[in-house]
Structure 1
Amino acid sequence: MPGGVGPISELQRLTVSLRGGFDQKDGCLVFHFTGQLDAYSEKQFMDYVGDVLKASKLPSVIDLSKIDFLDSSGLGALVQVSKRCKDAKRSFAVVGNSRVTQTVKLVRLEEFLNLVNDLPTALSRMTA
């Protein structure tokens, strides 16, 4: 797996509105997404994240700091991923930007999703 995050063009196109990829950093799987996590991209998001999680037991971080839009379907997908990780006793966190954070806090899921403001904070929680 590559050591760093490349430009958006290197991310896999999951839908017209969502691109994503992952790499391994500090002993964690770090998923990176850009675009919109909504009703149109939720299934592809779940399939992609699910397939990667099946292949690894590492703690996982979903970095949504470059997401432009998150709706209730996207929130539902994040809740499902969080439940899977908890059931598998895998550490899990979500990195959000101001839009994502506002949406997650509106429905009071910040603790359930282990929402943090930046990737270094998320990684430090995974390795602590």
Structure 2
Amino acid sequence: MSLRGTREVGDNYQLFRLTGLLDAFSEPTFRKVLNKFVEEGPKHIILDLSHIDFVDSSGLGALVQLVKKVQGIEGTLQIVTNPRVTQTVKLVRLEQFLSLQPSVDAALEKVKLA
């Protein structure tokens, strides 16, 4: 199974709900699609990865690049996670940089404060 997702646009944010695998196979498409939508706006991004089965180093690299791109346009990136994704992120000590959130509601609260 590859990566699939939906996009919802709110007043000042975009919410992407993803399922599947964020790995070397899906990373190029993930990066291309997300970069396009970041440029279109709104500039605050919420990635719901709570239904992601696996993230590898390519996926982590894409998330880091996405944070940098969003910060470059003075936006924010909130990542809703699950235990598997959280464990992978913590292994490489990126949990603070990637702004992990326990739920979409918590991520929306962060966006309201931005």
Where on the TM-score scale, by shorter chain, does this alignment land: which range?
Answer: over 0.9
Alpha-carbon separation, structure 2, partners of 1:87 and 1:25: 21
On the 8 A contact 2:13/2:42 being kept in 1, the answer is: no
Paired position in structure 1 for 2:42: 57
- Aligned residue number for residue 95 of structure 2: 110
**5+ unaligned residues in a row in structure 1: which ranges?**
1-15
Paired residues, number = 113
Pairwise CA distance, 1:27: 3.1
Give me the whole-angstrom Cα distance separating, in 2, the residues matched to 1:91 and 1:113. 10
CA distance in 2, matches of 1:89, 1:54: 12
Moved segments of 4+, more than 6 Å: none
Choose from 78, 99, 104 the match for 2:63: 78
Counting only pairs closer than 5 Å after superposition, residues 1-128 of structure 1 correspond to structure 2 as 17-25=2-10, 27-128=12-113
TM-score calculated relative to the size of structure 1: 0.84
Task: Specify the alignment match of 1:3 in structure 2.
Answer: none
Q: Percent identity?
A: 44
1:90-127 per-residue CA deviation (whole Å, 9 max, x = no partner) reads: 01111111100110011111111111111101110110
Work out the CA distance in 1 between the residues paired with 2:71 and 2:96. 13
8 Å CA contact retained: 1:26, 1:123: no
Amino acid at match of 1:75: L
Contact 2:43 2:74 in 1 (8 A): no
Matching residue's letter, 1:88: I
TM-score by length of 2: 0.94
Whole-Å separation in 1 of the counterparts to 2:2 and 2:94 = 24
